[in-house]
A = this chain, B = another copy of it.
């Protein structure tokens, strides 16, 4: 396999993986492209390589920057903007986890707390509902806290975690 083919395959794969995890395909592809680029890439080049429109490129770059995993870069004497991706994978994972926690898990927890605290003195059905949603609340809270902990680990938390799990 030659370089161009490999690069394309990687970008496509990363895009597909993104889709499966609820991240829009183009966003994941742009990120993939930037991760494997050894220098900052202009919007023009991104549009060209991925065959996407200016608007699409602009919006998804903005989204990636909002996630804190893509940065703008300015080059001396150049009018246009260039983009680079976070290349440290530990840092990348932490940022993604933090963002998904904030946007998706925390709001879900709030609802779980609400529904698990209704008065259920009536039927067995209601008791089971409160019991199960309470357990779910505890579980999700614990999992979410675990993500927070990752953040505190300064370097290579994944490697260390694997070691710990192994005992």
Assembled-state Cα–Cα distance A7/B132 (Å): 11
Give how many copies assemble into the complex: 2
A residues adjacent to B (C-beta < 8 A)? 1-3, 6-7, 9-10, 13, 17, 19-22, 35-38, 87, 89, 93, 104, 108, 111-112, 114-115, 118, 120, 122, 124-129, 132-133, 135-136, 139, 142-143, 145-146, 149, 153, 158-159, 161-162, 164-166
Most central of A93, A108, A129, A153 by chain B CB within 10 Å:
A129
Assembled-state Cα–Cα distance A149/B38 (Å): 35
A161 touches B146 (CB 8 A): yes
Contact status of A159 and B132, CB under 8 A, knowing A10-B115, A112-B10: no
Chain B residue numbers with a CB within 8 Å of A89 are: 135-136, 139
Assembled-state Cα–Cα distance A139/B92 (Å): 11
Contact status of A162 and B142, CB under 8 A, knowing A1-B114, A36-B128, A122-B3: yes
A125 touches B165 (CB 8 A): no
Chain B residue numbers with a CB within 8 Å of A161 are: 146, 165
Question: What are 6 inter-chain pairs, A to B, with CB distance below 8 A?
Answer: A9-B111, A10-B115, A36-B128, A36-B132, A36-B133, A146-B158
